[in-house]
Amino acid sequence: MNYYEVLGLTPPVTEKEIRSAYKKALLLHHPDKVKTSEKTISIDLINKAYHTLINDNEEYQKQVIFGDGLDIFNLADFEEKKIDDGVEFYMKCPRCRTESGIKLTEDDLIGGAQQENNEYEVIVQCGDCSLWIRVQYEEE
């Protein structure tokens, strides 16, 4: 269950929607309001979901474009990590917010890229959700 599901939301969402869903979830799952036999979500998890989403919401709304085509990112948006076989590039998925949800290796960049002049583009999917993005980069 991701943080959107904890609060009963589907992205994209506004700050107002996050705040409203947070209050509703607190009332719905508060230990004083729930019978012991009912399945509930912990207040700690609800608080963590709220604080994560409210802090990430501005960044999320700027990054994700909903419409025709795939969202475009630059390889510079990715973090770089050395691995045994070279380098791995990763970033937080803009949809499901999974850390390192989108990963690329040097092989992905070399083998799967479309080239036009000195510019390259590869299409990659998040490892946790169905989001596909386009990653653009230039030849070094």
Residue ranges of domains in the chain: 3-63, 71-138
* Residues sharing a CB contact under 8 Å with residue 27, sequence separation 6 or more, in sequence order: 33
C-alpha 19/C-alpha 38 separation (Å) is 24
Q: Who wins on pLDDT, 118 or 83?
A: 83
Please state, for a pLDDT cut of 90, what percent of the chain lies above it.
18
Q: Look up residue 91 and give its two tokens.
A: 């970033």
In terms of Cα–Cα distance, which of 106, 137, 108 is closest to 121?
Answer: 137
pLDDT per position as a tens digit, 25-81? 988 888 777 776 667 788 888 888 888 888 765 444 434 434 345 788 999 999 999
Res. 111: pLDDT tops 90: no
Q: Rounded mean pLDDT of 108-118?
A: 79
Q: State the Cα angle at 37 between 33 and 38, rounded to 5°.
A: 60
In terms of Cα–Cα distance, which of 98, 99, 89, 84 is closest to 122?
Answer: 89
| The pLDDT value given to residue 65 | 39
Residues in the chain, total: 140
Q: State the Cα angle at 7 between 97 and 133, rounded to 5°.
A: 25
Identify the CATH number of the domain defined by range 3-63: 1.10.287.110
C-alpha 115/C-alpha 8 separation (Å) is 42
pTM beyond 0.85: the answer is: no
